[in-house]
Amino acid sequence: MVQNVTYLGFIPLLPLAGSLLVGLLYLYACRGKKGFPEKLYGLLGCTGPILSFFMAVKVYMSLQALPADDRFLHHKAYTWFASGELDVSMGFLADPLGAVMLLFVTFVGSLIHIYSIGYMKGDPRYGKFFAYLNLFLGSMLILVLGDGPVVMFVGWEGVGLCSYLLIGFWSEDKENVVAGNKAFIVNRIGDLGFVLGMGFLFWGIGADGFDYLSLKANAHHLTEPIGLVVCLLLFVGATGKSAQIPLYVWLPDAMAGPTPVSALIHAATMVTAGVYMVARFSFLYAHVPVAGEVVAWIGILTALLAAIFGMYQDDIKKILAYSTVSQLGYMFAGVGVAAYSAGIFHVFTHAFFKALLFLGAGSVIIALHHEQNIWKMGGLKSKLPTTYKTMLIGGLALAGCPPFAGFFSKDEILYSALATGHTSIWLIGVLVAGMTAYYTFRMIFVVFHGKPRDQEAFDHAHESPKVMTIPLVILALGSIFAGFCNLPKLFGGHLRFSHWLAPSLTEHHPHGGVGLELLAVGASVLAFAIGIGIAYRKFTVPVDEPVYRGFNKFGFNKFYVDELYHALIVAPYKFFGKAISRGLEPFIVDAPVQASGWLYKMAGLAFKVFQMGYVRIYAIYMVVGLSVMSLLISQSLN
């Protein structure tokens, strides 16, 4: 039985209303010279997310009160469109999976909104920022709460749009705008896959209702080939949104946006939408193991590739960006080997520590007056103590150090890979874990330890205001304790998280035995230790910006993938476009339009002959007309 609750609709509505209100205020202020005080924007901008968070907690409590196999809250707002067999309504569904996503999206989202109050201080477009950020949160909540693929797609597109708007926020710099365009366009390519997948899904089993519950009930009707096509096409959409191979290229460029944007959109929430989507459609992916294999392999290969790139970057945000791509690869590896709850668990913990790392990086960037190159930083741990401590916690969590959150989630994924027989995936995963530790601590040691490389900037640096550091502390606490939600039996836990998620997912938990679990844990810890050890050896001695040669140079330039895409895809497309616009369009489009205008002009000139200006001639025209009329009437009178 599914309960009907109306307040579900308000959860996305509140941030959207906030966005509208702040946006209107900002537009109104733009007309005059005097603007509204920043505090007003900040207050209005944060109210929506915080209220949504409280409602999310309420949803969670309501779900908890229900019996375990019946945890669904549904709200159908209205029928959006019904044409033929397709009947789509704007509806919201809250089940355990949705509740989990809802909780951390609103929690981390609210914290980042509060952080932005301090980060964006002094920016003339303060109001616009909060309007866009609220719009993003509203769209993300629609995505998470949607009761069917179509409503999810509405949110999917909305977050893509807000990503574009926020990446190009400082639009006077052309590079930011180009990065925004790249993000949107690459996302669109993925979205095409998503739409095609939806189409095939409807064709297959959509006739009896196109929402998750109906689709899940009818999933066994889906034939193998169509199921495979649907899963792969939907995954194409996920590669676009969640930055996997081959559509990951937009995420590092997206770091051109303000850091809270990078934290919220490109670390904690939007990019995890792809993983959420695969988990939502677990009833499809569980039936088509081949699709799962594809997902897992692409995921782990992306993790490897991104980790390699991350080891060479010198922009603090780009390191974190590639780290995000890499961790997303882990998540897809998890859901690919049918360990859906493990993947979602990693989404959950990743939100905390990656948001923390990004916000901490933002704090560093602000302290050094918008310097982002790590080779110009150094020794900041004395100047930015809170930032340093929280980033250290975040780094440990990311690298997978027990007992921080990242260790448990990553370990769960790797163990699932091993237990389902995907040994090569497991091995690559362990290697990537080591690389993760290495690049994370490379960043931390270079930025915070040793001697300052730019003395002047160092002298001016100071710790960020409380409105920025308190979210850091809260997120650090989350990074420490979030892992304990899902302690496996090995450590005395009950896998509470996985059990909570069970009604939403079609999952079979692998049983590999204690030995296999110990092997997985041991390998992870070993990889972490080796990684951090190498980083310690290399970067705690005074070292300057290295010069890269050979393979290192290849890696530093990200394997020239961007250049390859540009040469293979972007340049021919642009050439094609120019060719059509110069060679074809003047003849096919411009010529007929101009010709019709010319035709009317000629007709006008022809008729101009009749208007000589002599009134007598006009009188003659009248008489001629009269006589013609009389002729006609005489004929008819005959």
Partner 1 sequence: MLATYLFFGLAMLAVLGALGLILFKHPMNGAMSFVVTLISLAGLYALLSAKLIFAIQLIVYAGAIMSLILFIIMFLNIQEKDLPLDPNRMFYLAGGVVVVAPVAGLLIKIAKTIESEAPELAVGFGDVKEVGQLLFTDWLLPFEIVSILLLVALVGAVVLAGKRGVN
Partner 2 sequence: MITNYLSLSILLFCLGILGVVSRRNVFIVFMSIELMLNAANLGFVAMARLHVNMDGHVLALMVMAVAAAEAALALAVIILLHKHKGNLDTNIFSLLKG
Closest distance between partner 2 and the C-beta of residue 600, in Å?
15
d(CA 278, CA 291): 11
SS3 of 278-340: the string is HHHCHHHHCCCHHHHHHHHHHHHHHHHHHHHHHCCCCEHHHHHHHHHHHHHHHHHHHHHCCCH
Closest distance between partner 2 and the C-beta of residue 576, in Å?
48
Strand order in the sheet with 86-94: 3-4, 73-83, 86-94
**What does 595 interact with, of partner 2, partner 1, none (CB < 5 to 8 A by kind)?**
none
d(CA 493, CA 215): 34
Q: Between 43 and 629, whose beta carbon lies closer to partner 1?
A: 629
Q: Between 587 and 614, whose beta carbon lies closer to partner 2?
A: 614
Q: Quote the Cα angle for 233-296-554, to 5°.
A: 100
Q: How many residues bind partner 1 (CB under 8 A)?
A: 11
> Is residue 452 within 8 Å of 384, Cβ to Cβ?
no
Closest distance between partner 1 and the C-beta of residue 28, in Å?
55
Closest to 212 (Cα-Cα) out of 15, 494, 544, 505 = 505
Closest distance between partner 1 and the C-beta of residue 592, in Å?
42
Q: Between 611 and 636, whose beta carbon lies closer to partner 2?
A: 611
Closest distance between partner 2 and the C-beta of residue 610, in Å?
8
Closest distance between partner 2 and the C-beta of residue 619, in Å?
6
> Is residue 364 within 8 Å of 443, Cβ to Cβ?
no
Q: Between 78 and 614, whose beta carbon lies closer to partner 2?
A: 614
Closest distance between partner 1 and the C-beta of residue 613, in Å?
16
Residue 627 CB contacts under 8 Å (≥ 6 apart), including other chains: none
Q: Which residue has tokens 């290849």?
A: 554
**What does 602 interact with, of partner 2, partner 1, none (CB < 5 to 8 A by kind)?**
none
Q: Which residue has tokens 């001697």?
A: 451
**What does 630 interact with, of partner 2, partner 1, none (CB < 5 to 8 A by kind)?**
partner 1
The interface mask with partner 1, positions 604-633, x = CB under 8 A, is ----------------x--xx-xxx-xx-x
> Is residue 335 within 8 Å of 280, Cβ to Cβ?
no
Q: Helix 340-367 and helix 273-280: axis angle, to 10°?
A: 170
**What does 633 interact with, of partner 1, partner 2, none (CB < 5 to 8 A by kind)?**
partner 1
Closest distance between partner 1 and the C-beta of residue 622, in Å?
10
Q: Between 541 and 623, whose beta carbon lies closer to partner 2?
A: 623
d(CA 273, CA 152): 10
**What does 613 interact with, of partner 2, partner 1, none (CB < 5 to 8 A by kind)?**
partner 2
**What does 43 interact with, of partner 1, partner 2, none (CB < 5 to 8 A by kind)?**
none
> Is residue 24 within 8 Å of 41, Cβ to Cβ?
no
d(CA 512, CA 420): 8
Q: Between 584 and 624, whose beta carbon lies closer to partner 2?
A: 624
Q: Between 571 and 620, whose beta carbon lies closer to partner 1?
A: 620
Q: Between 124 and 604, whose beta carbon lies closer to partner 2?
A: 604
Sign of CA dihedral 154, 155, 160, 166: positive
Closest distance between partner 2 and the C-beta of residue 603, in Å?
13
Q: Three-state DSSP class for 29?
A: helix
Q: Between 61 and 628, whose beta carbon lies closer to partner 1?
A: 628
Closest distance between partner 1 and the C-beta of residue 628, in Å?
8
**What does 61 interact with, of partner 2, partner 1, none (CB < 5 to 8 A by kind)?**
none
Characterise 76 by phi-psi region: left (phi > 0), alpha (psi -120 to 50), beta (else): beta
Closest distance between partner 2 and the C-beta of residue 618, in Å?
8
**What does 611 interact with, of partner 2, partner 1, none (CB < 5 to 8 A by kind)?**
partner 2
The interface mask with partner 2, positions 398-417, x = CB under 8 A, is --------------------
Closest distance between partner 2 and the C-beta of residue 626, in Å?
8
The yes or no reply on residue 637 touching partner 1 (CB under 8 A) is: yes
Q: Between 547 and 615, whose beta carbon lies closer to partner 2?
A: 615
Site for partner 2 in 221-250 (CB under 8 A): none
Closest distance between partner 1 and the C-beta of residue 631, in Å?
5
User: DSSP letter at 570?
Assistant: I
**What does 584 interact with, of partner 2, partner 1, none (CB < 5 to 8 A by kind)?**
none
The identity of residue 54, as a single letter, is F
d(CA 339, CA 537): 36
Q: Between 611 and 635, whose beta carbon lies closer to partner 1?
A: 635
**What does 217 interact with, of partner 2, partner 1, none (CB < 5 to 8 A by kind)?**
none
Q: Phi and psi of 542, rounded to 5°?
A: -60, 125
Closest to 417 (Cα-Cα) out of 481, 489, 338 = 338
d(CA 591, CA 581): 13
d(CA 23, CA 30): 10
**What does 614 interact with, of partner 1, partner 2, none (CB < 5 to 8 A by kind)?**
partner 2
First to last CA, the chain: 85
Q: Between 68 and 631, whose beta carbon lies closer to partner 2?
A: 631
d(CA 262, CA 66): 37
The identity of residue 4, as a single letter, is N
Residue 566 CB contacts under 8 Å (≥ 6 apart), including other chains: none
**What does 637 interact with, of partner 2, partner 1, none (CB < 5 to 8 A by kind)?**
partner 1
Closest distance between partner 2 and the C-beta of residue 637, in Å?
16
d(CA 411, CA 187): 30
Q: Which residue has tokens 């300052």?
A: 452
Q: Between 43 and 622, whose beta carbon lies closer to partner 2?
A: 622
The interface mask with partner 2, positions 583-622, x = CB under 8 A, is -------------------------x-xxxxxxx--xx--
Closest to 436 (Cα-Cα) out of 349, 351, 527, 523 = 527
Q: Between 611 and 635, whose beta carbon lies closer to partner 2?
A: 611
d(CA 151, CA 31): 36
Which positions lie near partner 2, rule CB under 8 A?
A: 608, 610-616, 619-620, 623
Which positions lie near partner 1, rule CB under 8 A?
A: 620, 623-624, 626-628, 630-631, 633-634, 637
